[in-house]
Amino acid sequence: MKKFINKANKAEPLTKQRGPLTVANFNKSFREYFTEVISLANNVKGDFVEFGFGGTAASSSSRLITDLMKSNYITKRKCWFYDSFEGLPSANKEDLGIEWTSKDAKDKIIKELLHGGMFKPTPATLELIDQLKKDPELNVEFVKGWYQTTAKQHKEKIAVLHLDGDLYESYLYPLTHVYPLVEKGGIIIFDDYDKSKWPGCTKAVNEFFKDKIKDIVTYEGGYMTRHYLIKK
């Protein structure tokens, strides 16, 4: 697996000047990460697609990424947000090898995962959806439903695919149906890859990209490590 240290990256600069970036509650590492990694696809045609809107806080990925677009830190694109808006589906066996700090925490989480509904929307989620829909500078589309049904409905070309669905099937369905729509040079970002709490993500990504595992890039920036792949 290739190692990529954020400072070494020479992302394609945008031609227009960058505007002020005011993102509440978002730490610098995440801002740098999304700016640098998403910038790698700045010249690729296609939309931004996220499977895993969540959006329970001002610090959600959708908030940050749309603010980066508006301030011209990354290319502005149509944004598609796919989510059940009912929280996670119930987890499968692939998702349960979870390491938590204590046995009690682990038992509680496993019970919650098997039951489904973790990360249910809050009033803040609905407020964020409303704000994004009303923003005249953005072109956003929300698609409600389980990925099993919704992923195959997507037909538009993709430049940036952000996967943040935590579970095995929540990675496998989108990858199976929309990876063919990712343009050459487009980027696929895996939020949960190689995280001990979400083993299903790593399993799904490794299975799907079994011939391309060497192309998965590790981003190491500040306290955070994330992974992505550029489509060749």
Smallest distance, ligand SAM to C-beta of residue 192, A? 8
Count of residues of this chain found to bind ligand SAM when the rule CB under 6 A is applied? 20
Closer residue to ligand SAM, CB minimum distance, 167 or 187? 167
Q: Cβ-closest residue to ligand SAM? A: 54
Closer residue to ligand SAM, CB minimum distance, 87 or 185? 87
Smallest distance, ligand SAM to C-beta of residue 166, A? 5
Q: Which of residues 42-101 bind ligand SAM (CB under 6 A)?
A: 52-55, 60-61, 83-84, 87-89
Closer residue to ligand SAM, CB minimum distance, 147 or 193? 147
Q: Which of residues 3-42 bind ligand SAM (CB under 6 A)?
A: none
Does residue 119 belong to the site contacting ligand SAM (CB under 6 A)?
yes
Closest to 189 (Cα-Cα) out of 21, 76, 89, 62? 62
Dihedral pair phi/psi, residue 196, rounded to 5°:
-65, -25
What HEC string does the chain produce? CEEEEHHHCCCCCCCCCCCCCCCCCCCHHHHHHHHHHHHCCCCCCCEEEEECCCCCCCCCHHHHHHHHHHCCCCCCCCEEEEECCCCCCCCCHHHCCCCCCCHHHHHHHHHHHHHCCCCCCCHHHHHHHHHHHHCCCCCEEEEECCHHHHHHHCCCCEEEEEECCCCHHHHHHHHHHHHHHEEEEEEEEECCCCCCCCHHHHHHHHHHCCCCHHHCEEEEECCEEEEEEECC
Closer residue to ligand SAM, CB minimum distance, 100 or 215? 100
Considering only residues 48, 81, 147, 168, which one is a binding residue for ligand SAM as defined by CB under 6 A? 147
Q: What angle do CA 210, 202, 108 make, to 5 degrees?
A: 155
Cβ proximity of 47 and 156 under 8 Å = yes
Considering only residues 4, 142, 146, 179, which one is a binding residue for ligand SAM as defined by CB under 6 A? 146
Smallest distance, ligand SAM to C-beta of residue 132, A? 13
Considering only residues 154, 163, 166, 182, which one is a binding residue for ligand SAM as defined by CB under 6 A? 166
Closer residue to ligand SAM, CB minimum distance, 46 or 55? 55
Does residue 167 belong to the site contacting ligand SAM (CB under 6 A)?
yes
Does residue 175 belong to the site contacting ligand SAM (CB under 6 A)?
no
Q: Site residues (CB under 6 A) for ligand SAM?
A: 52-55, 60-61, 83-84, 87-89, 119, 146-147, 164-167, 169-170
